[in-house]
Amino acid sequence: MDGSGEKLRVGVIGATGYGGMELVRLLLGHPHVSLTYVTSETFQGQPLGEVLPHFRGFTNLTLHSFDPTYATNSRDLLFLAWQPGRAMEVAPELLKHGVRIIDLSADYRLKSADLYERVYKQRHASPKLLAEAAYGIPELWGDAVKTARVVACPGCYPTGALLGLAPLLSEGVIDPADVIVNAASGVSGAGRSKFELGFHFPEMDENYRPYNVTGHRHRPEIEQQMTALCGEEARIVFAPHLVPMARGELCTVYCRLTRPITPEEAQGAFERFYSGRPFVQVLPQGQLPATKNVLGTNMCHLGVAVDTHANRVIVMSAVDNLVRGTAGQAVQNMNLMFGFPETAGLMLPGQYP
């Protein structure tokens, strides 16, 4: 498909989770896409606009239970918006029917089946596809995305961290084995089905707390992709936090310099690296990103500072975890895969306040 003529036929598997419903929102407004299939095991048989009233008047689609044969019938692409563990079971069968896949779960992000088993505590059901799957950050691995049958779309933490680290790794001015990533995300990053006590409103409101500071499952993923960028073994400290807001993510990354650089050199490295990339905005020197400024957009705002006293460079990134950190990035990958303009359906200004 060359981006013109007949519309791309797509389906969203898991359309009533936070990531899935954000995908539906973006796809309904995409000029080159026809959304023809949406699924939900919880709300099967019900109109999408009744289950999710913010879609009333925009679609007449009915939610189905997932069926592999029906899912692949007259469809070009399927977005798999499930929790980890399900995509790897059905992807091989879907691919046999010629359908391409963008997986929003973590099933194809790690290249090693052994590492996947250690991190996610289960065996990988389709390990042969791990090497084939493209890692879906378009600014960093866009060439692989264009021809991929399977794209592993990363979540908000790896996206924010890796976009912030890539220019410095490319320049070779930081030690990839001495990086600290301090990240904070809105509660929607945990998913719509998270019913544990710690996610209830009284527990989260006016609260700010770290979690999984020595064993978060995204740490091996970030280290894997850092190594792919610089060719050296990466090792990070990764400290995620929950913030009492619905959506948004801010990463602050502390990197040890291997040689002195000036603030102007650091700023120039970022501006060169992301020149011409519409969804990464390098802020002017001295300005810092904020989650409110990217709300509802596919943008990543980056700020960089050099701390000569500590021999560190500090990078800050802000993304909307449900758009750039999930559904928007998935659509951006789709645009590359099918020859559409990279910005198609995504050039939306932010919501404010």
User: Active-site residues: which are they?
Assistant: 156
Strand order in the sheet with 280-282: 209-210, 236-243, 174-186, 249-257, 312-319, 300-307, 280-282
Contact 151, 91 (CB under 8 A): no
Quickly list DSSP for 217-244.
Answer: THHHHHHHHHHHHHSS---EEEEEEEES
Contact 268, 288 (CB under 8 A): no
In this structure, what token pair is assigned to residue 214? Answer: 């020595």
Q: How far apart are CA 55 and CA 21, in angstroms?
A: 9
DSSP state of 124: -
What is the phi/psi pair of residue 2, to 5°? -110, 15
In this structure, what token pair is assigned to residue 54? Answer: 């913010």
Q: How far apart are CA 116 and CA 123, in angstroms?
A: 7
Task: Locate the DSSP E strands across the chain.
Answer: 8-13, 33-39, 63-64, 77-80, 100-103, 134-135, 150-152, 174-186, 209-210, 236-243, 249-257, 280-282, 300-307, 312-319
**Tokens 């289950």 -> residue:** 51
Q: Is 173 helix (H, G, I), strand (E, B) or coil?
A: coil
How far is CA 47 from each of CA 72, 80, 127, rounded to the nearest angstrom? 21, 20, 36
Q: How far apart are CA 20 and CA 38, in angstroms?
A: 9
Q: How far apart are CA 94 and CA 83, in angstroms?
A: 18
How many CA atoms does the CB half-sphere of 103 hold within 13 Å? 28
